[in-house]
Amino acid sequence: MVMLTAEQVIAPDVYSEIMRRIKAAEQEHNVKVLYAVESGSRAWGFASPNSDYDVRFIYAHPKDYYLTIDIEDKRDVIEYPIVDEIDINGWDIRKALKLFWKSNPAFIEWLQSPIVYLDDGFFAPTARDLMPSVASSHKGIYHYLHMARGNFREYLKKDVVPLKKYFYVLRPLLAIMWLEKYDKPAPIEFDVLRQLVADNEALDEAISELVARKKVSLEKEYAPAVPIINQFIESELSRHQENPPSAGDRDADFELLNQLFKRVLLD
């Protein structure tokens, strides 16, 4: 995985505005942002010309904030409305680590985003080091399959379909294949995942055409269904229907995450 600073790949004016908003969030909520990345199609590698900038971050309050009896009742997200195609929100470190413990795919993908806006140099690298002990492939497969089934059922069983929804089905199905083959978290970049089906030349060509079209199409563009891609999707969903995955019964040692939490607050 090659990680880039966002400054290297995001337009300078957009980058400056995103960094301004991150700093403003810190001041408004009295938090420290530990890590901030691109999480959507720009990170996946198939952004449309008008794709949003999906900025996601992990933050921590000063340690005394957490020493209260009503901590569970406090809001654990920071959210802002989308303005100028910048969609920015974040999770409190407690929320992030609890979801990490459950092998939440979103958090695991954030840790692997190739486009990084801000990194304190400790939280994300330490969390990545914990992935082999924390991330469950069984739980990842279960989550991705639910995502793929839902999007296929809702959007792709028609003659004309939303172009981008193909990627909301293909990407999780390929992530499942990665988890099955390597038993470790799937990479976020679509071009890496699609190598798993590169030996199917017809399918690979159809996916290449789909990616090329997505990169020049507006976000809400519709297109005729692609039979060979639908056949692949239906085949994979059928395979999992016949051999359904379990959510997995392995839970990570919470103490590993407690230690990370404490070190962030005390350092």
Q: Which CATH class is domain 4-135+252-266?
A: alpha beta
At a CB cut-off of 8 Å and minimum separation 6, what does 197 contact? 174, 177, 203, 204, 207, 232
Rounded (5°) CA angle 47-174-167? 30
At a CB cut-off of 8 Å and minimum separation 6, what does 25 contact? 31, 33, 57, 59, 78, 80, 88, 90
Closest CA to 15 of 37, 45, 35: 37
What residue type is assigned to position 161 of the chain?
Answer: V
| Residue 94: Cβ-neighbour burial (10 angstroms; 0-12, 13-18, 19+) | middle
Rounded (5°) CA angle 187-189-193? 70
Rounded to whole angstroms, the Cα distance separating 208 from 211 reads: 5
- For strand 32-38 and strand 222-224, is the pairing parallel, antiparallel, or unpaired? unpaired
H helices of the chain, where? 6-9, 12-29, 41-44, 93-101, 105-111, 123-134, 137-151, 167-182, 190-193, 201-216, 227-242, 254-266
Give the pTM. Answer: 0.92
Do 64 and 30 meet the contact criterion of CB atoms below 8 Å apart?
no
pLDDT tens-place values along the chain, 267 residues long: 566 677 788 999 999 999 999 999 999 999 999 999 999 999 999 888 889 999 999 999 999 999 999 999 999 999 999 999 999 999 999 999 999 999 999 999 999 999 999 999 999 999 999 999 999 999 999 999 999 999 999 999 999 999 999 999 999 999 999 999 999 999 999 999 999 999 999 999 999 999 999 999 887 899 999 999 999 999 999 999 877 666 555 566 789 999 999 999 998
Residue given tokens 């908003």 in the structure block: 21
Q: Where are the domains of the chain?
A: 4-135+252-266, 137-242
